[in-house]
Amino acid sequence: MSINWYPGHMVKARREIEANIKLVDIVLILLDARAPFSCRNMELEKIADKKKTVFVLNKADLAIPEATSGYLNSLRESGCVAVAMDSISGKGSKDVVQAITESYQEQADKMLQKGHRVRPVRVMVTGVPNVGKSTFLNSLVGHKVAETGNKPGITRGKQWIRIREDIEFLDTPGLMWPKIENPEQGFKLALLSIVGENAYSEYEVALYLLNILVNKWPHVLNDKFKLDTLNMDETEILNEIARKRGHLVKGGQLDIEKTCTMLLQDFRKGKLGKFSLD
């Protein structure tokens, strides 16, 4: 599935990030812990390549812990600074602060050597849309400072947020790249609601999810939907789930659209369990 989702505000977001990159010391890039490599925006990383970068695998509560550890090790082995965080509970926030502090230490030492006072580190928070930047910031501060939502594109304007005396965050809008060429990556980003809902077919993404579940986590289908057998294709499984859930329209026809929406929402909210897709 090829996705072309680059609404007008993305152009503005890119210009804003390019204009403000000179104001910060560190760029913090949030990735969805369920598919961190699929979420990497190489254009964004190119913009930030002259700044120290910290990767945060956000939404770690929704991912398989062992897989997250493997993702972190892979990033670290490639020379990246990487930590994981669950922004709902705040677990991992100390690791984030430590990574920022350590990344800033060299610059802080230079200020001291010149006889200057060490100013608060300035951190730009970036990532693709709907990766949880606002929830992440609210979690670190301890109260609501940024608007949150479950759709891409909530954060549109520049915000400076001080989370403690020595760290200031610059919140930025989510930024996508113009076209997702890899079909598998496109399905993953749609499944994670990284791209806008008008860019994909819920039916196709629901079938993709069912294919993953059948091949990797069949117990989920048995446990959550009480299916008697999985010896059928994804379309038949979708129909059977619709029957089990009583999703019908007038005339007794199956309401497949409602079933697709339910499947995707349950996956995104963690109701089907923890998953790692990369």
- Same domain? For 118 and 17 the reply is yes
**Dist. CA 21–CA 23, nearest whole Å:** 5
Does residue 187 lie within any of the structural domains? Answer: no
The helix/strand/coil state of 216 is helix
Average pLDDT over residues 102-116: 93
Whether 158 and 212 share a structural domain? no
Range with lowest mean pLDDT among 30-34, 163-167, 191-195: 163-167
- Euclidean distance between CA atoms 241 and 246, whole angstroms: 8
The answer to whether residues 135 and 19 belong to one domain is yes
Give the per-residue pLDDT at 53. Answer: 97
Answer yes or no: is 143 within a domain. Answer: yes
Q: Is residue 1 part of a domain?
A: no
Same domain, 45 and 150: yes
Domain of 255 in residue numbering reads as: 201-268
Mean pLDDT of 138-163: 60
In a domain, 66, yes or no: yes
Q: Assess whether 31 and 165 both reside in one domain.
A: yes
> Which of 129, 154, 171 finishes a domain?
171
Q: Are 180 and 208 a contacting pair, CB within 8 Å? A: no
Q: In CATH, what number is assigned to the domain containing residue 233?
A: 1.10.1580.10
What's the pLDDT score for residue 93? 95
Name, in order, each residue with C-beta under 8 angstroms of 147's C-beta and a sequence gap of 6 or more: 134, 154, 155
Q: Identify the residue with better confidence: 199 or 59.
A: 59
- Whether residues 39 and 128 share a domain: the answer is yes
In a domain, 186, yes or no: no
Query: Quick one: pLDDT at residue 191?
Result: 96
* Residues 25-38, mean pLDDT to the nearest whole number: 97
Note whether 108 and 158 are same-domain residues.
yes
Confidence at 151, pLDDT banded by 50, 70, 90: very low
Average pLDDT over residues 130-159: 65
List, in order, residues 6 or more apart from 51 with CB less than 8 Å away.
21, 24, 25, 26, 27, 124
Confidence label for 173 from pLDDT (cuts 50, 70 and 90): confident
Average pLDDT over the chain reads: 90
Burial 105-131 (b: 16+ CB within 10 A, else e): eeebeeeeeeeeeeeebbbbbbbbbbb
CA distance 187 to 192: 9
Q: In terms of domains, do 87 and 223 share one?
A: no
255 and 155 in one domain? no
pLDDT at residue number 163: 79
Query: Distance between CA 43 and CA 137 in Å, rounded?
Result: 23
Q: What is the pLDDT of residues 254-271, one digit of tens each?
A: 999 999 999 999 999 999
List the helix and strand counts (H, then E) for the chain.
Answer: 10, 6
| CA angle, 208 then 211 then 212, to 5° | 90
In a domain, 221, yes or no: yes
Q: Average of pLDDT values for 91-107? A: 95
For the chain, what percent of residues have pLDDT higher than 90? 73
Residue 189: inside a domain, yes or no? no
Write down the pLDDT at residue 5: 65
The pTM is what?
0.89
User: For the purposes of burial, counting CB atoms within 10 Å of the CB of 171, is it exposed (0-12), middle (13-18) or buried (19 or more)?
Assistant: buried
**Count: domains in the chain:** 2
Quickly list DSSP for 17-52: HHHHGGG-SEEEEEEETTSTTTT--HHHHHHTTTSE
- Tokens 């993702």 found at: 71
**Which of 150, 171, 192 delimits the end of a domain?**
171
CATH code of 109's domain: 3.40.50.300
Q: What is the per-residue pLDDT for 156?
A: 45
Task: Check residue 4 and give its pLDDT.
Answer: 64
pLDDT band at residue 161 under the 50/70/90 scheme: confident
269 vs 275: CA distance, rounded Å: 11
Band (pLDDT 50/70/90 cuts) for residue 1 is low
On whether both 40 and 101 belong to a single domain, the answer is: yes
Greatest CA separation for the chain: 80
Angle, helices 202-216/183-191, rounded to nearest 10 degrees = 100
Q: Are residues 159 and 254 in the same domain?
A: no
Q: Answer yes or no: is 273 within a domain.
A: no
Whether residue 130 sits in one domain with residue 23: yes
Burial class (CB in 10 A: 0-12, 13-18, 19+), 219: exposed
pLDDT at position 143? 59
